[in-house]
Chain A
Amino acid sequence: RKEVEQDPGPFNVPEGATVAFNCTYSNSASQSFFWYRQDCRKEPKLLMSVYSSGNEDGRFTAQLNRASQYISLLIRDSKLSDSATYLCVVKVGNTPLVFGKGTRLSVIA
């Protein structure tokens, strides 16, 4: 069973749309959760951490459901510049981060 699973997409959405990605993780001992963003032919960069109470950063909202072991990312009012691959990431103890394979988003004019 894969440790972090994501729908690979692509999600093709028009500008201004709201889009949501989910991610499930298998290790119930996972302690920390993140979303990274990777633009085409670029390196991944941290987008936001995910907290138990949920957190928002501008148009982006991240939620964590520990009972069901899933994480979500909601993007409101999508922009062309949001087109990227979004990587779900979890951390267990002192071990290295575990990356999902990513969900590709294309925002279309």
Chain B
Amino acid sequence: DVKVTQSSRYLVKRTGEKVFLECVQDMDHENMFWYRQDPGLGLRLIYFSYDVKMKEKGDIPEGYSVSREKKERFSLILESASTNQTSMYLCASSQGGEKLFFGSGTQLSVL
């Protein structure tokens, strides 16, 4: 079974801190995605990558950046965390882009 692992289940950070959210998948998938999920707003795509060193902006990239130096790892970076970035962050991977496999999520609180 595909496994998508996110480094932390819960994270508490202070406003202005630089935050790294790590995601690793073990199935050699080409495609990786970062979403955030907020009550009433559903899943919103932040960034995605279809290949190593490649990245594309999603629907809400402002305040975020990503890094994909290796195929299996896709990192989401909050350059200067703000309280409106408090959210559940979900990483996902896929091969053909149709069936997504999600990690179990990181609940980030920015105080």
Contact = CB atoms under 8 A, between A and B. Distances in A.
**Does more than half of chain B's interface fall in helix, strand or loop, or is it mixed?**
loop
Contacts, number: 38
| Best-surrounded residue of B40, B41, B98, B99 (most CB of chain A within 10 A) | B98
Given A43-B90, A44-B102, A96-B48, A101 B42 contact: yes
A42 B104 CA distance: 6
Contacts of A42: 104
Interface string A15-51: 0000000000000000010101000001111100100
B19 interface: no
Please classify how large the interface on chain B is, using the bins under 10, 10 to 19, 20 to 34, 35 or more.
10 to 19
B43 A43 contact: no
B33 interface: yes
Interface of A: 8, 32, 34, 36, 42-46, 49, 87, 91, 94, 96-97, 99-102
